[in-house]
Copies of this chain bind each other. A is one copy, B any other.
Amino acid sequence: MKSEANQVDQTSREKLMKSAEHLFAERGYDGVSVRDIANDAGVNSALVGYYFGGKEGLLAEVYTQRCGLLRDERAQLLAEYSAGGKTPSLEEVLDAFITPSLESARNGEGRRSLPHIRSILAAENSSLLEKLVAENFDESSKIFVKALGKCLPQLTHEDVLWRFHFLLGTIYYTATGPHRIKALSRGRCDPSDPAATKEELIPFLVAGFTAPSAAKGNKRRGRGRGNGTVKS
Contacts and interface: CB of A to CB of B under 8 A. Distances in A.
Interface of A: 27-28, 30-31, 87, 89-91, 116, 119-120, 122-126, 130, 133-134, 137-138, 141-142, 145, 150-154, 157-159, 161-166, 168-174, 176-177, 179-181, 183-185, 188-189, 191, 199-212, 214, 216, 225-230, 232
Contacts of A226: 203, 206-207
A86 to B, nearest CB: 10
Nearest to A141: B184
29 contacts: A27-B124, A28-B30, A89-B228, A91-B225, A91-B228, A116-B123, A119-B119, A119-B176, A122-B176, A126-B179, A133-B180, A141-B180, A142-B184, A145-B184, A150-B232, A151-B230, A158-B185, A162-B201, A163-B200, A165-B173, A166-B201, A168-B180, A168-B181, A172-B172, A202-B214, A203-B214, A204-B214, A205-B208, A210-B227
Contacts of A170: 166, 169-170, 173
A212 B174 CA distance: 21
Contacts of A173: 119, 165-166, 168-170, 172-173
Given A122-B177, A168-B177, 19 more contacts: A27-B123, A28-B124, A31-B125, A89-B228, A89-B229, A119-B122, A122-B176, A124-B124, A154-B230, A162-B181, A165-B180, A165-B181, A166-B170, A170-B173, A199-B214, A199-B216, A206-B226, A210-B227, A210-B230
Contacts of A210: 207, 227-228, 230
A192 B103 CA distance: 31
B225 A183 contact: no
Nearest to A198: B214
Copies in the complex: 2
A229 B90 contact: yes
> Which of A119, A150, A188 counts the most chain B CB atoms within 10 A?
A119
A171 B191 CA distance: 17
